[in-house]
Copies of this chain bind each other. A is one copy, B any other.
């Protein structure tokens, strides 16, 4: 599955007239963002600029640009003398982001939607296949990989760049929260839930019904938020 992880997660296609520096920046950004989202770098962890720079074979300067970008996106927080810390998110901010996401998802079908192509249908079919594999062998990390890939499959259905960028920004602010403090039982339940969700998307996509896709997305986002709130209240 590791090879598929890459094809599922590496989604920002290189621009034709992108400079070498620009490409490296984007690759580093996506890589570190993945690690944060998959809890390789859990909230509260301190990252070392020097260690990361050495690992990626660059000096601190270009790496710091990446960390600043992730700080602007709300995933990192740098403090002089202390370090660069992976941010946590409190329940209040989480709720605000989810509220916003629920308002944005219907826009997928309203603002410059693409017509659903056979490639799109295949993409959702592959995602559903991954989901089935996942329910046979559930894992928090595997769940997150499919969850992120599903988001990108949906977000890529609009050609409205401001909408797509905003949805991506907000999604990654909350994506890692799911993996925190999930029991094995929770993981199993969430994997099944994701499987049903992706099946719904696949069916709507095969019908070419982007309006249905958008409303399904909103419904599932809302349900996720509710489950998260119930879990938070139970603790």
Contacts and interface: CB of A to CB of B under 8 A. Distances in A.
A19 B163 CA distance: 32
A111 B107 contact: no
A107 B96 contact: no
A161 B93 contact: yes
Interface stretch (A97-105, A116-124, A131-139, A176-184): A97-105
Q: Is the interface of A mostly helix, strand, loop or mixed?
A: helix
A: contact size bracket: 20 to 34
Nearest to A73: B72
17 contacts: A19-B79, A19-B80, A21-B80, A65-B65, A68-B68, A68-B69, A69-B72, A93-B161, A96-B160, A96-B161, A97-B162, A100-B107, A100-B162, A103-B110, A103-B111, A162-B170, A162-B173
Given A19-B79, A99-B111, 16 more contacts: A21-B80, A68-B68, A69-B72, A72-B72, A96-B111, A96-B160, A96-B162, A96-B163, A99-B112, A99-B160, A100-B107, A100-B111, A100-B166, A103-B110, A162-B173, A166-B166
A21 B77 CA distance: 13
Interface string A1-28: 0000000000000000001010000000
A154 to B, nearest CB: 17
A111 B97 CA distance: 10
A93 B163 CA distance: 11
Contacts of A170: 162
Nearest to A110: B103
A166 B173 CA distance: 14
A35 to B, nearest CB: 20
A100 B69 contact: no
Contacts of A65: 65, 68
A96 B19 CA distance: 26
